[in-house]
A and B are shown apart, each in its own frame.
Chain A
């Protein structure tokens, strides 16, 4: 079974609209969860990470994500999309010692003017 699943390979929103990118994970132990962003022709940049300190995690550029254990989800949101948010977003899970960081297949976000 996939350790992390991103629903929707492509998401398109209008500028100013809510951004919601979905991520579900599977883990038998408390996981560490990450969201990375990749702009065209660039490497990955950390947006935010969950390390069990707080279920609502705030990141850079106005993004935030909420860890919901009951739903095994870690969805990424932003209240108002900006043109500069157009990029590919990757959710990743690290299921404790002995495991490694495993990435989802990514969601490409397009922002319409």
Chain B
């Protein structure tokens, strides 16, 4: 079974530029998550989708971050304009549903460096 796919794997941009990350979840998974992992820290949830609706975006910096999940499958996370503190790994993940205790499967991450 194919896992969670993410691209690009690595991206270096200058501050104030924009960047977009793409994610394709495991087939059949209704719930999709975007996490931010800063070096030396655990992943932090940015946004959670259930099908194509947003369930939780309370920790998403909405002045610069946006995400969408059109048609309830693929998702895109965008940052515009980027700041130095946005340097992190952006992990996409998916699960069958958002029910507590469901296993969440992670992609390999998109590594962002803002210079």
Contacts and interface: CB of A to CB of B under 8 A. Distances in A.
Interface of A: 9, 32, 34, 36, 41-46, 49, 51, 90, 92, 94-97, 99-101, 103-106
A106 B42 contact: yes
Interface string B79-115: 0000000000001010000011101111111010000
A105 B41 CA distance: 5
B108 A43 contact: yes
What's the dominant secondary structure at chain B's contact region?
Answer: loop
A36 B105 CA distance: 10
A92 B48 CA distance: 17
22 contacts: A9-B40, A32-B100, A32-B101, A36-B106, A41-B111, A42-B109, A43-B4, A43-B106, A43-B108, A44-B43, A44-B91, A44-B93, A45-B106, A46-B103, A49-B103, A92-B42, A100-B45, A101-B104, A103-B42, A103-B44, A105-B40, A106-B42
Nearest to A29: B100
B106 A101 contact: no
What's the dominant secondary structure at chain A's contact region?
Answer: loop
